[in-house]
Amino acid sequence: MQTVKRILNATLAVCIIAAAYGLIVILRASNPFRPPLLPSTLTAAAIILGLAILLVLKPPRFATRPIHTPAVYPTRRHQSDVTILVSVDAVRQASTHPDPLKRDWSFEWENIVAAAVGPHSIIDLSELASDDFKNTAVLVLTKSASANLDRGLAEELLAFMRQGGVIISEGMSALVSDVLEVDVAKINKGPIWLDHLAPELVPDRLTRAGLAARPFYGTLSEVRPRPGASSEAMNILASSCGRPCIVQGTQGNGHLVAILFDLAAALVHLKQGFYPRGLLARMFASIRHGWGWPKPAHLIPRLSDFRRPEPIPPLQEVLADAIFRTAARVHPFGAVSRLPAGKRAFLAMTHDEDYASRELSAIVKEANERGVAQTVFLLPDCRRETYQREVLEAACAEIGFHWNRFRIHLDRKGIHVNRYARPADAIDILRTRLLTRQIASSRIHWLSWDTHPGTTFATLAGAGLDTDSSQGAISTAKGYIFATGYGYRPLSPAGAPISLLEVPYEIEDDLAGADVAFMASLIELNINSWHSGLVILIHPWECTKRGRLRNLFDQALKTAERDRVWATTLAELHAFRASRERCEVSSTFAGNILKIEIYTEDEGLCLHLPSSHGDLKLSELRLDGDRAETSSLPDGLTEVALPRGRHTITLTYS
């Protein structure tokens, strides 16, 4: 493959030089006063021009060697209301399948649960104990667990449901078939459009329209009722072209939410993409990535979806909230909010240095004077004056690493030679020049990815970074292209979690028509419905030269100053997520009284609780025996702020 790639690269170089030669000849022919020019001089000029064009189209890049380490599938028991069940053996066996859609991406459920609830346990099916059922309100059966249920465990799960537990199941299993009284008719492959969503699943009309506008890719189990099945055994919450996708059923006092398509694989496909199958497809993908195109095409399926009038929501957060909101109607439990107390959306302002440190210093200083936190990504080989370095050091809430993967890079500031091949070396140089700062986040210069994004994610994690923001908007699309605003932990090609938080950005300058109105609409939708975030990338050079972008920057600063908007940095977001997931939560519900034991290590967290249970309304909420101040949210939830430490919350429904 490498030999063929070199031949194609050489052919490309020859074609460009030939085109440059022809261009010079045409230009000279159109000039009647042209001076005489020797053929050798003409050829040399063509070669120089051709190589310059080739350098712009295909700058030489440091190659990233794939990190071949054994896949690690971490499981843990944590005091929480949600437990994820996986079969590690099934995930490992499926990891070698040539078709990524047929691999097992069960660990993606950690991202789904983290977005909706926060703290959770994840247990291997082979290590499941009977006590695990007693300490949880919701069990999540991933695809790998559903496919490997034995009859004895299925009976235990049914008993768990009859006692009031909730099971969320992905894929078909004997348990799902028995509860819903259905059988699998056939397996449908292709795009899945959630064109019908029940209002109780997704109350907001605009959000329902946005979900229906973007397809999922995977397999859908088409089911048919068994002979004599009750018409009330299955309630359809979402369907695609008339075929049920998300359904619910009851068993005793418990509840089942069945997802009949591979939701985890579909989200991985939207967030990380699946590299092309076949030698020829991979070869051309590799060549395209070598050019350093801003966004690999296979990472963004169906860009046309983002040119629709409907706002495309962050699918991960919206679907996660919808599924667990349905579960909480049966067995109320608390979810730790993904935002600090009193906040309904977050805004992260980011800037890439791009060899424009003087312009960067100017806009950073202005934002700092208005008290708006920001993250800037600095190049380790950029020459900065002492003044600029001091301004960046003093004014930036967070300094991240801008990874330039090109050996030679040509831009409006000139030609730049990069001496640091390994990102760890470049980070060390940056830390040396900024002695008071920790470098924990990154963004890749020109967003140049490896053919498989898992290789890039593993390289960044191996360099000791916690957070990355290299996925995002491009010149032809904006918004939640990668299906999340809150971020996610990527999975390796083997389906194992990578210890890195990827937070895509939704707006890059004013590309793809991203103007003030678009930014304002996303902020309002997040405040009122989605409760996620918005990451904005503004390049300093462009901001100081173009009035329209300058206006967007000014309005972003005003938005960051709003009371219900959390102006944050990527490092703060990562720390808040970690604090949220470390919380210990345990709920019991009996006699219309919900009792929650919770422990938090940090201030600023809050708990979201159901405002009603069936026909009963929340009449009283006490924190450690005293009445607590609460806030009502528009989506049927009540918010209570959590002081640091261990507390008991009691809710009475009447």
Q: CATH number, domain at 204? A: 3.40.50.880
Domain co-membership, 423 together with 556: yes
On whether the CB atoms of residues 313 and 210 are closer than 8 A, the answer is yes
Domain co-membership, 31 together with 128: no
Looking at this protein, which amino acid is placed at residue 532? Answer: S
Domain co-membership, 384 together with 533: yes
pLDDT on residue 120:
95
What is the average pLDDT value for the chain, to the nearest integer?
83
Q: What is the pLDDT of residues 508-550, one digit of tens each?
A: 998 888 889 999 999 999 999 999 999 999 999 888 888 888 9
Domain co-membership, 471 together with 511: yes
User: Per mean pLDDT, which range of 381-395, 423-437, 460-474, 532-546 is the poorest?
Assistant: 381-395
Q: What is the pLDDT of residues 573-604, one digit of tens each?
A: 999 999 999 999 999 998 889 999 999 999 89
pLDDT on residue 25:
62
pLDDT on residue 569:
95
Residue 603: inside a domain? yes
Q: Which of 553, 578, 603 is the last residue of a domain?
A: 578
Read off φ and ψ for residue 610, nearest 5 degrees. Answer: -65, 135
Q: What's the whole-number mean pLDDT along residues 489-509?
A: 92
Higher pLDDT, 101 or 547: 547
pLDDT on residue 358:
85
Q: What is the pLDDT of residues 28-83, one digit of tens each?
A: 565 554 455 445 665 666 667 666 666 555 566 665 555 556 678 999 999 899 99
Confidence band of 289 (pLDDT split at 50, 70, 90): very low
User: Is residue 201 scored above 80 in pLDDT?
Assistant: yes
Residue 220 Rama label (left phi>0; alpha psi -120 to 50; beta): beta
pLDDT on residue 101:
76
Range of the domain at 199: 82-269+317-327
On whether the CB atoms of residues 277 and 451 are closer than 8 A, the answer is no
User: Is residue 118 scored above 60 in pLDDT?
Assistant: yes
Looking at this protein, which amino acid is placed at residue 440? Answer: A
Domain co-membership, 322 together with 339: no
Confidence band of 387 (pLDDT split at 50, 70, 90): low
Domain co-membership, 530 together with 388: yes
pLDDT on residue 43:
66
Residue 42: inside a domain? yes
How many CB atoms lie under 10 A from the CB of residue 521? 13
Please give the Cα distance from 223 to 188 (Å, whole number): 11
Selection from 359, 357, 361 nearest residue 381 by Cα: 357
Q: What's the whole-number mean pLDDT along residues 457-475?
A: 89
Domain co-membership, 573 together with 618: no
Domain co-membership, 629 together with 483: no
On whether the CB atoms of residues 592 and 652 are closer than 8 A, the answer is yes
Read off φ and ψ for residue 470, nearest 5 degrees. Answer: -105, 0
Q: Which of 540, 556, 578 is the last residue of a domain?
A: 578
Confidence band of 23 (pLDDT split at 50, 70, 90): low
Percent of the chain with pLDDT over 70: 82
Domain co-membership, 412 together with 485: yes
The total domain count for the chain is 4
Selection from 612, 601, 611 nearest residue 640 by Cα: 611
Please give the Cα distance from 43 to 26 (Å, whole number): 14
Residue 201: inside a domain? yes
Residue 64: inside a domain? no
Domain co-membership, 595 together with 565: no
Confidence band of 98 (pLDDT split at 50, 70, 90): confident
Residue 640: inside a domain? yes
Residue 277: inside a domain? no
Higher pLDDT, 300 or 33: 33
pTM: 0.88
Residue 279: inside a domain? no
Domain co-membership, 547 together with 615: no
Tell me the pairing of strands 441-444 and 467-468: parallel
Find the CATH number of the domain harbouring 556: 3.20.20.370
Domain co-membership, 353 together with 204: no
Residue 323 Rama label (left phi>0; alpha psi -120 to 50; beta): alpha
Q: What's the whole-number mean pLDDT along residues 76-105?
A: 90
pLDDT on residue 591:
83
Residue 584: inside a domain? no
Q: Which of 292, 327, 362 is the last residue of a domain?
A: 327
